[in-house]
Amino acid sequence: MPSSPLPQPLAKLADNPRILIRRDGPPRPEGKCVVYWMQRAMRIHENPALDVAIDIANTLNLPVVVYFSVIPNYPNANLRHYHFMQQALRDVEADAAEKGVGFILRRHPDNSLEKFLEEVQASILIGDENPCREPERWRQALSRKLKLPYWTVDADVVVPSAVFGRDWFLLQHMRPHLKAALPKFLVATTSPKPQHPWRRPKSLASCSLHDDITAGYKALDRSIGPVDSFTGGTHAALKHLRDFIAHGLKDYDEKRNHPEVHGTSRLSPYLHFGNIGPLTIALAVEQACAKGKAPRAVCDRFLEQVIAWRELSVLFVKYNPNYDNWECAEPWARQTLVEHAADKRPYRYTFDQLERAETHDDLWNASQRQMVTQGWMHNYMRMYWAKMILEWAPDPARAYEWAVILNDRYELDGRDPNGYAGVAWAVVGKHDRPWFNRPIFGLVRPMSGASTAKKFDSKTYIAQNAGGKSSLI
């Protein structure tokens, strides 16, 4: 039987390209709250998914409770990622309490979302979006099992992916569509306040963030430990943003390709974990530009990275099922790489040698060490890092595989559309054009150690990321 139509106020809320109704129908009439299942957007501050939950709750005269489930086997995550996430969740808990929103944390095996929805007698479930394979599969499976409405909100892009409805090979092809859509979406969130604060029943269990959220998770990879170069959470993310705008934005165009200086925002880990949204960053940059703190051209260059390239990457992952392997290559790139697969490699390295930064190339070793020890690598070095793996690996397929494994294992912003698109650009020419034919790379754009090292103070960068090989793994 078809579901009953939505009440008019909710139908009006649902008419939003950010929202995907995964299970339709009216809210459960006897419901006592609206639940926001938080996953990708780990923040209370300027979170469109939470805003939708609050708007619905206010319409229904109900409170909102945020639910977060910690599982021991999140795909490709290790202790480094869980540690950063726990720091972020502490901010979520504090900010939720200040806003009058509930926060409940559960750990496996006592983390059934369906059970929780019955415990609190939820009226409707709101979630956030994630284009990566496994999270999308979870959302689809949940929508088939639930007995109440389930909406998800595209909370971590400026322009919702549904506005585009497809991916593009080149940014220049996407850019006119993005330009047309931006005026509608590059506006501050409404940040509604809940009219009915959540009051947690004493009998409702919630885990403490003072305890290790990974305790007892024996299968969790603990060999990759936390780093002290970043502290997770919205509060740290907003501080990074303020510092960058005050001291780095005006010089961004000049310094962004100099890995030896702090010329970038270093916000990518916070964007990956949803501790801050791209809209918050973009509006802060626009405000700085309006106040004359940075030239318009510099602000536009930065915004192209945080909006255009980032959203092109999200569309790539959303619409290309092979985003994490070399099968995503365009026909021209596949053909040229196959034609050159048998070319003689000047150096050949195993995966283990690469992981330990045991190559002849001091610059490449420095970039690998930066990733391993800091959980982050400068974007300019990421391009060189991945292209050298293509040159040194036995074949393009394994080069792609190795780059993805290393990126996802060590980067705090790994396991992310930006990372997959970056590897695809470097290894199989995705979002790039054919270049000049040369050994190994074929028509894929090459980079060399000699030319790369001349473009910045490479000796300083190498010295900054020196260290004993034994400390790498």
Rounded to a whole number of angstroms, the distance between the first and last alpha carbons of the chain is 57
Task: Tell me the three state secondary structure of residue 150.
Answer: strand
The CA distance from 307 to 177, in Å, is 13
Domain final residue pick, 319, 343, 375? 319
| Domain shared by 137 and 25, yes or no | yes
Identify the pLDDT of residue 470.
37
CA distances from residue 328 to 165, 369, 386, 462 in whole angstroms, order as listed: 18, 28, 16, 33
The CA distance from 249 to 289, in Å, is 9
Buried b (16+ CB within 10 A) or exposed e, 186-206: beebeebebebebeeeeeeee
| Domain shared by 339 and 462, yes or no | yes
Q: How many Cβ atoms sit within 10 Å of the Cβ of residue 405?
A: 16
| Domain shared by 414 and 444, yes or no | yes
Answer yes or no: is 219 within a domain.
no
| Domain shared by 314 and 429, yes or no | no
Say which residues have a Cβ less than 8 Å from residue 187's Cβ, sequence separation at least 6.
none
Tens of pLDDT, residue by residue, the chain (473 residues): 345 677 888 999 999 999 999 999 999 999 999 999 999 999 999 999 999 999 999 999 999 999 999 999 999 999 999 999 999 999 999 999 999 999 999 999 999 999 999 999 999 999 999 999 999 999 999 999 999 999 999 999 999 999 999 999 999 999 999 999 999 999 999 899 999 999 999 999 999 999 999 999 999 999 999 999 999 999 999 999 999 999 999 999 999 999 999 899 999 999 999 999 999 999 999 999 999 999 999 999 999 999 999 999 999 999 999 999 999 999 999 999 999 999 999 999 999 999 999 999 999 999 999 999 999 999 999 999 999 999 999 999 999 999 999 999 999 999 999 999 999 999 999 999 999 999 999 999 999 999 999 999 999 999 999 975 434 44
Answer yes or no: is 187 within a domain.
no
163 token code pair: 């506005």
Identify the pLDDT of residue 473.
43
Domain coverage including residue 447: 326-471
| CATH number reported for the structural domain that contains residue 338 in this entry | 1.10.579.10
For the chain, what is the total number of helices (H) and then of strands (E)? 21, 6
| Domain shared by 291 and 356, yes or no | no
Say which residues have a Cβ less than 8 Å from residue 210's Cβ, sequence separation at least 6.
none
The CA distance from 103 to 182, in Å, is 33
| Domain shared by 240 and 351, yes or no | no
Which DSSP letter does residue 254 get?
Answer: H
| Domain shared by 242 and 366, yes or no | no
Beta strand 33-37 pairing with 64-70: parallel
Which residues are paired to 125 by β-bridges?
35, 150
